[in-house]
Amino acid sequence: MVNERVKKLRDIMLKNNLDAYIVYSFDPHSSEYVSERWKGRAWISGFTGSAGTIVVLKDKAGLWTDGRYFIQAEKQLKNSGIDLYKMAIPGFPTYEEWIYDNLDKDAKIGVDGEVLNVKTNKELCETFSKKNIEIKYMDLLNDIWQDRPSIPMNEVYKHEIKYAGKSRQKKIEILREYISKKESDYYIISTLDDIAWTLNLRGSDISYSPVAISYLLISKSKTVLYIHNNKLNNELVSSLKKDKILIKNYDTIFEDLGEISKTDSILINEESINVKIKNSINAKTKNTKNYIAFLKSVKDDIELENQKKCLIRDGASLVRFLHWVDTNVKSETLTEINVNEKLYSIRKDDSKFVDESFASIIGYKEHGALMHYSANEETCYKLKPEGMLLVDSGGLYLDGTSDITRTFSLGEVSDKERTDFTLVLKGVINLTKAVFLEGTIGANLDILARKPMWDNGIDYKCGTGHGIGYFLNVHEGPQRISRDLINVKLEEGMVLSNEPGIYREGQYGIRIENTIVVVPYKESEFGKFYKFETISYAPIDIRLIKSELLTEGEREWINSYHNDVYKKLSPLLNKKENKWLKNMTKEI
Residues forming the site for a second copy (CB under 8 A): 434-437, 439-441, 443-448, 450-451, 454-455, 457-459, 461, 483, 485, 487, 505, 521-527, 529
Whether the Cβ atoms of residue 511 and residue 536 lie closer than 8 Å to each other: no
| C-beta of 117 vs 430, nearer to a second copy | 430
Q: Which is nearer to a second copy, 453 or 558 (CB)?
A: 453
Sign of the CA dihedral 390, 396, 400, 401? Answer: positive
Output the smallest distance, CB 344 to a second copy, in A: 34
* Residues recorded for the chain: 588
Per the CB < 8 A criterion, the answer to whether 250 and 228 are in contact is yes
In this structure, the number of other CB atoms found within 10 A of the CB of residue 234 comes to 7
Closest C-alpha among 194, 198, 221 to residue 290: 194
**Choice between 90 and 571, CB closer to a second copy:** 90
SS3 of 413-446: the string is CCHHHHHHHHHHHHHHHHHHCCEEECCCEHHHHH
CB of 500 to a second copy, least distance (A): 13
Alpha carbons 168 and 157: distance in angstroms, whole number: 14
Q: CA-based angle 275:276:278, to the nearest 5?
A: 60
Q: How far is the CB of 461 from a second copy (least distance, A)?
A: 8
Considering the complex, what minimum distance in angstroms separates the CB of residue 74 from a second copy? Answer: 22
DSSP 240-269: HHHTTEEEE-GGGHHHHHHTS-TTSEEEE-
Q: How far is the CB of 444 from a second copy (least distance, A)?
A: 5
For residues 151 and 458, which CB has a smaller minimum distance to a second copy in the complex? 458
Question: What is the 3-state composition of the chain as percent helix, strand, coil, each rounded to the nearest 5?
Answer: 40, 25, 35
Task: Tell me how far, at minimum, the Cβ of 440 lies from a second copy, in Å.
Answer: 7
Q: Among residues 267 and 445, whose Cβ is nearest to a second copy?
A: 445
Distance CA 283, CA 265 (A): 6
Q: Residue 79 or 524: which CB sits closer to a second copy?
A: 524
In whole angstroms, how close is the CB of 458 to a second copy at the nearest point?
Answer: 5
CB of 459 to a second copy, least distance (A): 4
Q: How far is the CB of 242 from a second copy (least distance, A)?
A: 41
Cβ proximity of 75 and 56 under 8 Å: no
* Least distance CB 464 / a second copy (angstroms): 11
> Of 306, 383, 391, which is closest to residue 356 (Cα–Cα)?
391
| Nearest-angstrom CA–CA distance, 5 and 552 | 63
The residue (of 226 and 503) whose beta carbon lies closer to a second copy is: 503
Q: Which is nearer to a second copy, 28 or 427 (CB)?
A: 427
- Contact by Cβ (8 Å): 423, 494: no
CB of 530 to a second copy, least distance (A): 10
Question: Nearest-5° angle of CA 507, CA 509, CA 511?
Answer: 165
Map 119-155 to HEC letters.
HHHHHHHHHHHCCCCEEEECCCHHHHCCCCCCCCCCC
Return the number of the residue (337 or 447) whose C-beta is nearest a second copy.
447
- The CA dihedral of 436, 438, 439, 443, to the nearest 10 degrees, is 20
Sign of the alpha-carbon torsion through 571, 574, 577, 582? positive
How far is it, in rounded angstroms, from Cα 350 to Cα 355?
11
Residue whose CB is less far from a second copy, 59 or 183: 183
CB of 330 to a second copy, least distance (A): 34
Q: Least separation, in Å, of the C-beta of 446 and a second copy?
A: 6
Of the two residues 341 and 455, which places its CB atom closer to a second copy in the complex? 455
| Cβ nearer to a second copy, comparing 241 with 522 | 522
Looking at the Cβ atoms of 45 and 498, the one nearer to a second copy is 498
Distances (CA, A) of 191 to 253, 412, 524: 14, 47, 40
Q: How many CB atoms are located within 10 Å of the residue 575 CB?
A: 7
Long-range contacts of 62-69 (CB under 8 A, 24+ apart): 62/95, 62/98, 64/94, 64/95, 68/370, 68/371, 68/372
